[in-house]
Amino acid sequence: MSAATAARVSEEKEVTYLQAISEALDEEMTRDQRVFLMGEDIGVYGGAFKITEGFLEKYGEWRVLDTPLAESGFVGAAIGAAMMGLRPVVEMQFADFISCAFDQITEVAGKNHYRLGAAVPLVIRAPFGVGVHGGPFHSECPEGWFFHSPGLKIVAPSPPYDAKGLLKAAIRDPNPVLYFEHKFLYRRLKAVLPKEDYIVPIGKADVKRSGTDISVITYGAMVHVALEAAETLSKEGIDVEVLDLRTLSPLDKESIFASVRKTSKAIVLHEDNKTGGVGAEIAALLSEECFGCLDGPIMRIAAPDTPVPFSTPLVLKKA
């Protein structure tokens, strides 16, 4: 091993998806005194998933605020703080509860820039998705609710590297970002991350696997499902390209179109319900912009239009 390689490895360490998120919060709070956290049980308890464990002791109760069970109230307070120059990061204990703050997010945070020209540097962390026996009220993928709301940015990282880099980029962004983190990935993924500061730019997709036969366009936990399927299909001589959107709003249309123009076939894969999901918009865009290069119909693979069951066999059937 060369001296340069040894030095680089010494500056890297392996962390889980959950730890990557925690590191991003910690580093941004250290870097910028305007960053503070709000959410249910994030202080004394350390968060439902222990992402903010130890933060209260390190940063104090004025920067790690335990809130009541009142999402509309504390999101509204966070919007006000953001408009006064602070950078709040709000945790929804589960993404499902974000509906309680729907008006604040879409009608206040999302529209203030358009109405007033005001920056609203707010991040809302939303643990979403199935795989943890959460049942119908703790397993939803509600990104589609906000997908067509002007003024909001939406990100959904899949590997730990992106989880950390996208959260840091979201915190530094001058306007509201919904950060959908997948609960199933928290302790199941590990990766070696650089010690030095980095961000993953919002609005840029990433080709996680290059291929020539068909494009699978996806995000979140489904990226890993797609990669597994691609490896299986490679044994049958089918070369699958996996495009990780990373950002849902704004969509990286150029990367989507480039992938499909190369392969001439497209599958859009997501965990959210099929009707009215992100996949429907992508399919429409492809039909408008890439119709001439398609060799077959655009296919959507998504969840049926039902609530998420608790039972493992039913979850597997739903998936």
**Which residue has tokens 């540097």?**
121
Distance CA 69, CA 91 (A): 12
Distance CA 31, CA 51 (A): 18
* Pair 54, 24: CB distance under 8 Å: no
Question: Per the residue annotation, which of 138, 182, 224, 270 is the catalytic one?
Answer: 138
Distance CA 46, CA 69 (A): 16
Q: In which region does residue 193 sit, left (phi positive, over 0), alpha (psi from -120 to 50) or beta (all else)? A: beta
* Pair 24, 163: CB distance under 8 Å: yes
Residue 191 token pair: 């990766």
* Pair 279, 234: CB distance under 8 Å: no
Distance CA 83, CA 104 (A): 13
End-to-end CA distance of the chain: 44
133 part of the active site: no
The torsion angle over the Cα atoms of residues 67, 68, 73 and 77, rounded to 10 degrees, is -20
Q: Is 306 helix (H, G, I), strand (E, B) or coil?
A: coil
CA 210 remoteness from chain centre: 22
* Pair 83, 120: CB distance under 8 Å: yes
Burial zone of 84 (CB within 10 Å; 0-12 exposed, 13-18 middle, 19+ buried): exposed
The torsion angle over the Cα atoms of residues 181, 186, 189 and 190, rounded to 10 degrees, is 100
Active centre residues (catalytic): 138
